[in-house]
Every structure is written in C-alpha cells, then in structure tokens.
Amino acid sequence: MKLNELTAHEILDLIRSRRTSISEVYEAVTDQIQTTEKDVRAYVRLNEKPCHADALDAAAVPVPIGIKDNICVAGQETACCSKILAGFRPPYDATVIRKLKASGAVFVGSTNMDEFAFGSSTENSCYGPTRNPWNLDCVPGGSSGGSAAAVASGEAIWAIGSDTGGSIRQPASFCGVVGLKPTYGRVSRYGLVAFASSLDQIGPLTKDVTDAALLMNIIAGYDEYDSTCADMPVPDYTQALMNDVKGLKIGIPQEYFVAGIDPEVKAAVTAAIEVLTEGGAVVEEVSLPHTEYAVATYYIVATAEASSNLARYDGVQYGLRRQPAAVRKNPLIDMYEETRDAGFGPEAKRRIMLGTYSLSSGYYDDYYLKGLKVRTLIKQDFDHVFREFDAVVTPTCPTTAFKIGEKMDDPLSMYLSDVYTISVNLSGIPAISVPCGFSKHRLPIGLQILAKPFNEEMLLRIAYAYEQRTEWHKRRVFER
Amino acid sequence: MIKTKGSKIVTQDDVRYIASLSRISLRDEEMARLTRNLEDILHYVRKLEEVDVRHIEPTSHVLPLKNVYREDRMRPSLTREDALQIAVQQHEGFFKVPKVIQ
C-alpha cells in the first residue's frame, strides 16, 4: 500500500519508528491529489506546501488532514461553499483548528460541502459537486462530501466534518469510511459557521475506528468560547478499543427496516448484526415509535434556526455586498435583498424561506412549537431504549450513493435520504457510521451505531469489535 | 390544527411575503419554483398533525444547560484593525454602509 492509503495510526507508527517522515507522507497525499483530484474534486482550496518540523515531540500527531470549508482557519479563506462568503478570511481560528495546530496537524486544504451544509449530496456547493471516488457518476453524500471523498481517495489521511442531520455519517457511509458525530456539546463549535445551533456538531471522518478515537482525543473537550460545550472530562478514547462486545445489549429498531430500504443495504446490515451476535452481544428488537416524524420535525427545527443564523449575511459587515443600480425600496433594504439574492444558492433560499415561514406570526405554534414538542417525543424514545440497552444499531442510510443530479429537482426526496441519521441530532446523542459491505455495483454500505449522550466510548468499542471481525475498512478505492 | 387556504398551504402571495421577511428579492421563475417546493415540503410536514402533543413540553436544546456565566475580566481579544480587515467597506475605524436616512 502507498503511504497515503494507510491509516493515521499506521503512519504514526512509521514516523515514530523513523521508517518514514511527515514529508514523505505529505508527498504521497499530494501525488494522489495530482492524479485523482481532477475527477473527485474533494477540495475547494489546496494549501501551500507546509513547513514540516520533522523533529517532533513524541505526542505530536503530524497527519495530513482535510478541513470542511465551514470551519474558520485564521487568515485563510473560509467560504462555506457559498458565494455570500467568497473571499472571507476569518481573523481567528476555530477551537478545533487551534487544537489540531497544537497537535502538529498538516493542513492539506478546504474540502467541498453543500452551501452552509444545506444538503445530502455536496451538489449545493457554489464550486460545483464532488464525485464519489467509488463511482464518479454518483454523489459522495453530504454535506461533508468533500471530507469523505478526500479520505476515501487517499487525498487526505483523515478529515474534519460537521453533522447537523447526518452530514458526517451519510457521506461516510456513501464513501466507505468511518464518520463519527459526537454528543451535542462534546466538541467545541467555536469557529464553526452556524447552521442549526441546537443540532450542529463537529466530528472526524477517518479510514478506521482507531483513527476516529485518535482524532476525538485531539478535538473533544470543554471550551469557554462555546457556551454549549460541556464541561466534562475527556476520556482517552483509544481505551475503548478493547475488541469485546460480550454481554452488551444492542437494540435493533424495527422502524428502520421498513419500506424504502434497499434490499442490499438491509442484507449487509443484517449480516453485520449477526457478526455482533457471534461476538457475544445480546441483540433484541426495540421500538422508536416516533421515527417516522423525524424528517418533518428536523426540517422545521433546522430551517428555523438556519433562517435566524443566516440573517447575519446582509452585506453590512463582511462577505458579499451588492447594491442595485436604481433605488427600489431604500438603499439599505435594497442592499440586503440584492446581496442575499445574489449570494445564496437555491437550497439556501429554500431553507431560509421555510424557516422564516414556520417562525412567522400565525404559523409559529402550528409549525415551530409543534416541531419542538415532537422533538421531545423523539428524544424520549431514545431515553426509554437506553434505559435498558447499551447501544442501538441501524443502517446509516436507506440506500447506497445515488447518481449526481438524481434528486436535485426534488428537495423532499433529498431530505428523506437523511431519514436514519436525523433523530440522532434531534436527540443530541452520539453516533458512528462504519463500512459494513458493498453493493453489487461496488458502492459502500454503512452501519450506524448509536449510544447514550457522552458515551462515544460505547460507539467506538462496538465499532472496533465489528471492524476486527471484518475486512471492509481495508478496501481502498484506487488499489490495483 | 394547521390552517389552510383552500387546497393550497402556500400561495404565491405568501411566498412573496416570506421573501420580504427574509430580505431576499426573488425573480418570477424562482417565485414559482419556490412556491411549488414549499407546498410539497409543508404538505409532508403536516404529517405532524397526527401526533398528540397536548401534554408535551418543547425541546429547544438537548443539554440540561442553564445560563452559562464567566468571570467578568479583561482578556486579549481582536484589535479593531484585525476585526475591520474583513469589512466590505470601512471608514475611520467603522464599517461603512449605504445611506439609511434620506
């Protein structure tokens, strides 16, 4: 295997035993970018060749990483793949960036995403779509599609994404990599461009579960700059990689295996559950009765918060400013409207309008407040199951990656592709997606594991035990 | 229950009004497409009418966080020059905007 096809922990072993250097690893990554980036288009911006300190202390993690374009890096363009933020160079680092810099991370570039993370396919980017490395006619998923595609193609060793309704896990599933959405409050969002503040979390996309644990060790923890960040100790997540699921109680929600699931996905996930059973886990069917309301609830709550968060893009302080030639209402209102019309893409406009509608006078109680109440019921479903079970296992997505363009004219069908990932964000719990098979068309399938709040260790433990019994995570897309 | 106007949930007039609340100017073809999209989505969202929430409290936030305080002390922060580097237009240390009062 080429260096860029290795995992971060394999690379760290080689660097620490002086069998390779960070320069060689970085070169392998940029060679890969030279070869495949013209097809995959995982990045929207590549960084200049970094200066490598080859003499690093033993705790350093000098691994080439891709960063989603909605996470602020001081002095470097951070545009959220939106025209309204094109050219925006934040004057500060996001907390996760500060932590990664301190760890010795090597920043490869900014990865593509749906504009403001609005989407499930990375097609809503002002820079154009990323393609799935496993099949260039297919989407990589979204919104962290660039991060997932970069890791899958070996154009980064690992990457950072953000997940508001499945935006780490769904692209991880479509691209055959590991994606972890931490508990709400586990990772600081300071410097993450806000989409839906009660749902957003930053998390890792990696080639295997060990790497997910290592990256969580770097990014998790309290931050006084994010008042929603939990002041709780961070465990060493690698301690959870014990390859033992004996006696763990795992629930399988019957509502996730109904109409709409691709038979190949169902078969792969069923086989994965069998692997856990053989490992000694106690698997039982459970019910999450409000699952069918999750998508509707999410698209009320998330768009309401988005419409409020995106009110700041008005041309006044930073980002795009447009002024019509002739006065229409008055020069200030004209500037707001012209700037927002020119700066936001169709999906951003759709979500701002939907959110504004459900928050507006006369509709608030019927939509927004109703959504928040159903959210309580969805969360209670999980509270109830987790009283008895250690984890819940489901497919990550009902299907494998779909074709580019297939759902672009039908927003509702795009929204429904998040049906298995959305409840997790509404409930604030952590979840991970790990590769669990391939379709006959050689497209990856993902297994999703869910656990109680702040129990990422349970996710990693079960995911690692599964991984040790299978080979899916060892497949590389460009290997001959 | 969610109100309806005839058989449609949203009319073009509603969409025009929401667009003005959202401070987005829309071209006619966008208006027609968005009206159609919002109709489809809101129709789907009405699924929530089936759920009885009479005795349910809303969840706006999943963590049991109350107000988060910090000590009121000086600490380093961005300088005015650094902050204004991102300004579209600036004038003598301020963000400059179009004339508001005629």
In this predicted model, what pLDDT tens digit does every residue of A249-298 receive, in sequence order? Answer: 999 999 999 878 999 999 999 999 999 999 999 999 999 999 999 999 99
Confidence of residue A51 (pLDDT cuts 50, 70, 90): low
Domain that holds residue A207: 3-250+387-474
User: So what's the pLDDT on residue A304?
Assistant: 98
Among A228, A377, A453, beta carbon nearest to B56: A377
Residue A88 falls inside a structural domain? yes
Residue B23 falls inside a structural domain? yes
Chain A nearest-CA distance from B7, in A, is 17
Cβ proximity of A440 and A218 under 8 Å: no
| Mutate: best of A317, A339, A408, partner B, most B CBs <10 A | A317
- Counting Cα atoms < 13 Å in the Cβ hemisphere of A251 gives 22
Is the pLDDT assigned to residue B3 strictly greater than 70?
no
Among A296, A372, A426, beta carbon nearest to B45: A296
Is the pLDDT assigned to residue B5 strictly greater than 80?
no
Residues B41, A91: Cα–Cα separation, whole Å = 38
> Would you call A207 a catalytic residue per the annotation?
no
For residue A302, list chain B residues with Cβ-Cβ distance below 8 A: none
Chain B nearest-CA distance from A293, in A, is 7
pLDDT tens, A140-156? Answer: 999 999 999 999 999 99
**What's the total number of domains in chain B?**
1
User: So what's the pLDDT on residue B99?
Assistant: 82
Residue B94 falls inside a structural domain? no
Residue A445 falls inside a structural domain? yes
Q: How remote is the C-alpha of B81 from its chain's centroid?
A: 30
CB-CB under 8 Å, A366 with B70:
no
Residue A155 falls inside a structural domain? yes
pLDDT tens, A69-106? Answer: 999 999 999 999 999 999 999 999 999 999 999 999 99
Is the pLDDT assigned to residue A439 strictly greater than 70?
yes
User: CATH number of the domain that A423 lies in?
Assistant: 3.90.1300.10
Residue A335 falls inside a structural domain? no
Residue A347 falls inside a structural domain? no
For residue A377, list chain B residues with Cβ-Cβ distance below 8 A: 51, 53, 56
User: So what's the pLDDT on residue A75?
Assistant: 93
Is the pLDDT assigned to residue A57 strictly greater than 80?
no
Question: Nearest residue on chain B to A383, judged by CA atoms?
Answer: B62
Residue A236 falls inside a structural domain? yes
Residue B56 falls inside a structural domain? no
- Evaluate whether ipTM surpasses 0.90: yes
Please, what is the average pLDDT of chain A?
A: 96
Residue B41 falls inside a structural domain? yes
Point out which residues pair with A449 in neighbouring strands: A393, A432
Among B60, B88, B102, beta carbon nearest to A198: B60
User: So what's the pLDDT on residue B1?
Assistant: 42
Residue B89 falls inside a structural domain? no
H or E element, residue B82: helix B80-84
Domain that holds residue B22: 12-50
Residue B46 falls inside a structural domain? yes
Q: How remote is the C-alpha of B87 from its chain's centroid?
A: 23
Number of Cβ within a 10 Å radius of residue A333: 16
User: CATH number of the domain that B26 lies in?
Assistant: 1.10.20
Is the pLDDT assigned to residue A107 strictly greater than 60?
yes
